[in-house]
Amino acid sequence: MSPSNAVKRMEPAARTNVNGGRFTPRSKHPSPESIMDRSDNPRLNIKPIAYAIGMLLLSGAAQAAGPRPFSGDWFAVKGATRAATAEAARSGGLPGMTPPLAQQQQANAQLARSIANLGQTAAAIAAAQAQQAAARQAALNAPGGVPDGLASGGLQVDNNPATQGWLNAAAPTQSSAGGHTTVSINQTKDKAILNWQTFNVGKNTEVDFHQQASWAVLNRVNDPNGRPSEIEGQIKGDGTVLLMNRNGIVFTGSSQVNVRNLAAAAAAMSDDQFTTHGIYSAQANGAYSSAFTDAAGKVLVQSGAQITTATPASATQGAATSCCWDRRWTTAAR
């Protein structure tokens, strides 16, 4: 076959399928297979560059909603996206979220407020401690109004046949040294009942109950003159100490109490109630009877008093100094 014949045989195919590099109406949307597979369809003899240009045009039509590729707007959008990504990377956060620096500033501000509140609380406690210390010192410097030790008007055992009674404890003993008087009471069983005509503790007196931690002692005051008990000195005990005076109880600023449990009430308690139920109400026929009766006076704790117990104290009313601050007592008398 001569070259001229070869040219003549290819002319009809060229005229039929390609017209100046454009697809003829015979195939408006050729598939990639028809373009690339020359052995099956030798009539579509399209160059690779023509296929690439066609695909680029199709891609551009699909992205008609966005900026034209490589245009000024296209570069502007790309630049803004890169700037936002770089800013997010510098701040360490994501768009729409509070940057870590702002979060740290907020945390520092909250910490500063907490420290300031803590400082104010500490200052208030320190002021209360100073006030208590001043009141206590003033009470210690003031002259005492109660006799020390076992004496008339001080610690005086009840000898009235109608009200006397001393159960499960030895008789009180007294010792003095260096201007200080100690009255010791040895408890012999778990529940002791002691009746006093007056139970007033002088400023230089210490009443020491020798008892086990699980034991309790009831001190009942039967003052015929109807006077409240005054505690100016110290009361100590390893167990529970109950002090009952219907006329009232006053813990002055010089008083100091250190027991496991303390129950002070301006009320009365029967022997049966104490030995059977203690300070808890008894139940009968679905109803509860009051553990404390005949409440008449008040329990007052003056500024400077120091009352320390292993568990919360209970009294008619007043403010007790426990460790470092004043604490309101709960009502025990009914």
Each residue of 224-233: pLDDT tens digit?
999 999 999 9
pLDDT-wise least confident of 74-78, 305-309, 317-321: 317-321
Q: What is the DSSP secondary-structure string of 41-87?
A: -TT----HHHHHHHHHHHHHHHTTTSPPTTSHHHHHHHHHHHHHHHH
Q: Which two tokens stand for residue 64?
A: 């008609």
Please provide the distance, in angstroms rounded to a whole number, between the alpha carbons at the two ends of the chain.
Answer: 133
Please, which residues bridge with residue 158 across strands?
none
Q: Give residue-wise pLDDT tens across range 227-260.
A: 999 999 999 999 999 999 999 999 999 999 999 9
The pLDDT assigned to 93 comes to 55
Cα four-point dihedral sign 33, 38, 42, 44: positive
Mean pLDDT of 10-19: 46
Does residue 45 come out as left (phi exceeding 0), alpha (psi in the -120 to 50 range) or beta?
A: beta
Long-range pairs for 320-323: beta carbons < 8 A, 24 or more residues apart: 320/251, 321/132
124-149: average pLDDT? 90
Phi, psi for 35 (deg, rounded to 5): -80, -40
Spatial neighbors of 242 by CB under 8 A, at least 6 apart, are 216, 217, 218, 219, 262, 263, 264, 265, 269, 274, 279
Model confidence over 69-104: pLDDT tens digits?
A: 656 676 666 666 666 666 665 555 555 666 788 888
Q: How many CB atoms lie within 10 A of CB 288?
A: 10
Band (148; pLDDT cuts 50, 70, 90): very high
Of the two residues 119 and 72, the one the predictor is more confident about is 119
Distance separating alpha carbons of residues 288 and 281, to the nearest angstrom: 6
- Listed in sequence order, the residues at least 6 apart from 62 whose beta carbon sits closer than 8 Å to its beta carbon are none
pLDDT of 159 > 70? The answer is: yes
Question: Hey, what domains does the chain have and what are their CATH numbers?
Answer: 155-309 (2.160.20.10)
Q: Which residues contact 312 (CB under 8 A, 6 or more apart)?
A: 330
Distance CA 27, CA 171 (A): 128
CA angle 230, 234, 236 (to 5 degrees): 120
Does the pTM surpass 0.85? The reply is no
